[in-house]
Amino acid sequence: MANMAQAIRMALHYGEQNLGVTEIFGEDVGPPLGGVFTATQGLSRAWNSPLDERGIVGAALGLAWAGQRPVAEIQFVDYIFNTIDMLKLCGNGLWSSGGKYKAPMVIMTPTGSGIHGSLYHSHSFDSIASKIHGLKVVCPSTPLDAYGLMIAAIKSDDPVLYLKPKALLRAKGEELIPGEPADEKLLHEMIDAPLGDRSKWKARWPKLTDYSVEIGKAKVSHPGTGLTLVTHGRMAPVCLDVARRFAADGRGSVEVLDLRSLIPYDWEGVKASVRKTGRVVFVNEETEITNFAEHLIRRLVDEMFYELKVRPRLLAAKATPGVPLSPGLEYFVQPQTAEVERAAAEALAEPA
Amino acid sequence: MPPKTAADPYKKIGPAKLLKIHANMVRARLLEERLIKMSKGGDGFFWIGGPGEEAFNTALGFQIKKGHGLEHDFLHFHYRSSAILLALGAKPINALRQMRSVAADPYSKGRSFAALAVMPEINLVPMSPTIETQYLTSIGTGIAQARAKTDAVTIVNGGDAGSAEGDFHSCLVWANRPALPLPILIIVTNNGYGISTAFSTQHGEVHISDWAKAFPEMPGKTVDGNDLLASWLAIEEALAYVRKNRRPYLLEAKASRLYGHSSSSGANRIPEADCIALFEDELTARGLAKKADLLKVWDAESEALAAAHAQVKTEPFPETESVWEDVFADGLPPSYPVKGGS
């Protein structure tokens, strides 16, 4: 099975072959490196830009206004903070121009913790991104969703911020990508750049096909009836693991709703799941204060207060100024499997 | 007054175009004064604009390859560009509509303040109140035009104060990448002030165009933006270079700021050199126009603007629910929160 970096790479290849993507760029995106997480290796339209995040976003927006469909990368989401007003321009251009200028562009960026990256290589941007209205925000948790969301993002006439959970970029999926060879080793030989001299290397792409994941559509990755875990990105496989173990151990029936899109979010999907279970824990690795899920909790209280059996909960990262390096500190700050288990058990056990 | 020789640029431009240029300058000045009047009279809100820059901006507007798509020039302008837009065919009444924020404001549907036009039919991309981000977006259209087989270019302008921002310098770096030089005419209109702060107190560079010295293949030039002829020739030279060589050119124009920064600073007339008066003196001294005829241009434009203003005052304001239009290209999702709270 492909890992997420390979899946994104294949989607970008599909985009440059079939969807009119002519510019894929950013810091170290082109040869020889092909991206610090290898997500752009072997692509014919990938090139290196200056180390200038504001310039990268501005260039992408200008290209989009010129009728192109660019895909640009910010090397780590931690570097995106100085581009916020550029992202605002991406998000408000259609509105401020009275509908005259669309901005079909993708900004992709690795997000979140889990690689011991410490400050400036571990942060999340989800909540801030959700405040940049007009921008669509997606965050896959599996290679297949990564493939489908990238193709949907490229096709979108809106600017899409594509968050790549960096801890999952090397994680393999449980489903084949359409066109992906079943032999993992063969895929590696076909599309992973060799170590050493790559100057003569060219990728041999599998015959990929179109597959879109609708932006704004969540996925029930594990059905359940007693509790809903609403999650996305790095925490989604953690929640899935907990749900499976609870089912296996007879500790409760847990439904996992993987949002996949933060903006627009699948409100109907959230409501349908919570209506079924009456209990919900929101799980993500953003910090606690003004967490995106707090908005969803407020809306649940407004619209479904009398359908909730117990108070809705949030499991998030602790609101420290950064993600610390020392493993014990990082695990303390960022939500871990044991905390998800504990939160799920408490929500299930609380009397209705 | 330059000598009347066979190579006299005034003759090259020709009397008919010179009078057209004059009319555009007058129209732009009167439009700005009308907008100021509306702002002060409660018939609109914040005003900011370009009175004092009519000579340089009209000279630029008449030399742009106007149209839609990569075969035409892409335009990334800041908020002192009304004379350029009028030269490109923008209707004055639309600026009045934006000032009054009526529903018929074609640039923003009553959402953005005056001077921020958007005209895809002439590749004018969304203008923003930010003072420098246009230097970044110009990189993108510059890349698209560098890839295309065309003589069309990207033109970006901004003010002297904005040149302190990193975005201006980003533009210089990206436009001069050896991997792909970009056909961008990079303009800075230097009126000597950023709001109330004098350029001379914050900038050590002698000329902003001196930044070009860091890039061996990018020419840089400073021109007197109050001089129509000098501006015309400098723009002609710069555009010819960019069109032919597919490389950037940095052009700084020194200009007056005749009504201060904006309505925030009072928008009162300031005694600086007036490019229209200078141009009219030149036209009459050369026998290309009579003073009385030039005055008729002022009267005619003034009457037209008054009529346009009267019309705009009858036009309705936007429906409140229109704020949900254009949030996303594919429409607002049914479950998007629209209540503004609980």
Tell me, what's the ipTM? 0.97
Same domain, A158 and A233: no
The whole-chain average pLDDT of chain A stands at 97
Tell me the CB-side half-sphere exposure of residue A57, using CA atoms within 13 A.
Answer: 27
Same domain, A187 and A269: no
Same domain, A142 and A252: no
A166 secondary structure, DSSP code: G
Q: What is the pLDDT of residues B311-332, one digit of tens each?
A: 999 999 999 999 999 999 999 9
A4 phi/psi in degrees, rounded to 5: -65, -40
Q: What residues does A71 pair with on adjacent strands?
A: A24, A106
Q: Pick the closest to residue B180 from B144, B210, B153 (CA basis).
A: B144
- Given A13, A121, A123, A222, the catalytic residue: A121
Number of domains present in the structure of chain A: 2
Q: What is the pLDDT of residues B284-302, one digit of tens each?
A: 999 999 999 999 999 999 9
Q: Which amino acid is residue A208, in one-letter code?
A: L
**Domain for residue A196, yes or no?**
no
Chain A, nearest residue to B129 by Cα? A89
Determine the pLDDT at residue B294: 98
What number is the average pLDDT over the span A303-326? 97
What CATH number should be reported for the domain holding residue A282? Answer: 3.40.50.920
Tell me the CB-side half-sphere exposure of residue A147, using CA atoms within 13 A.
Answer: 25
Same domain, A160 and A21: yes
- Alpha carbon A311 to chain centroid distance? 27
Same domain, A236 and A288: yes
Determine the pLDDT at residue A238: 98
Same domain, A184 and A36: yes
Radius of gyration, CA atoms only, chain B: 20
Determine the pLDDT at residue B65: 98
What CATH number should be reported for the domain holding residue B54? Answer: 3.40.50.970
What the block records as the tokens of A175 is 């489903």
Number of domains present in the structure of chain B: 1
B116 secondary structure, DSSP code: -
Can you tell me the distance from the alpha carbon of A69 to that of A49, in angstroms, rounded to the nearest whole number? 17
Task: Decide if A44 touches B, using CB distance below 8 A.
Answer: no
Task: Give residue B235's domain range.
Answer: 14-317
Contacts of B112 in chain A (CB under 8 A): 96
Q: What is the pLDDT of residues A215-268, one digit of tens each?
A: 999 999 999 999 999 999 999 999 999 999 999 999 999 999 999 999 999 999
Task: Give residue A341's domain range.
Answer: 219-349
* SS3 call for B3: coil
Give the per-residue SS3 of B277-332. Answer: HHHHHHHHHCCCCCHHHHHHHHHHHHHHHHHHHHHHCCCCCCCHHHHHCCCCCCCC
Contacts of A60 in chain B (CB under 8 A): 140
User: Within the 95-114 window of chain B, which residues sit less than 8 Å (CB to CB) from chain A?
Assistant: 105-109, 111-112
**Domain for residue B327, yes or no?**
no
Residue A126 scores a pLDDT above 90: yes
Contacts of A21 in chain B (CB under 8 A): none
Determine the pLDDT at residue B5: 53
Residue B333 scores a pLDDT above 60: yes
Give yes or no for a contact between B112 and B144, defined as CB atoms under 8 angstroms apart: no
- Secondary structure percentages of chain B, helix, strand, coil, to 5: 45, 10, 45
Same domain, A276 and A185: no
* C-beta atoms of B137 and A58 within 8 A: yes
Indicate the residue of B106, B108, B140 with minimum beta-carbon distance to A66.
B140
**Domain for residue A45, yes or no?**
yes
Same domain, A109 and A61: yes
Residue B1 scores a pLDDT above 90: no
Residue with tokens 């780590």: A76
* SS3 call for B250: strand
Give yes or no for a contact between A348 and A227, defined as CB atoms under 8 angstroms apart: yes
Under the banding of pLDDT at 50, 70 and 90, the label for residue B9 is confident
- Residues above pLDDT 90, as percent of chain A: 99
User: Within the 268-327 window of chain A, which residues sit less than 8 Å (CB to CB) from chain B?
Assistant: 268, 295, 298-299, 302
Residue B2 scores a pLDDT above 80: no
Q: Is the pTM of this model over 0.95?
A: yes
Same domain, A37 and A185: yes
Task: Decide if B142 touches A, using CB distance below 8 A.
Answer: yes
Q: Is A121 a catalytic residue?
A: yes
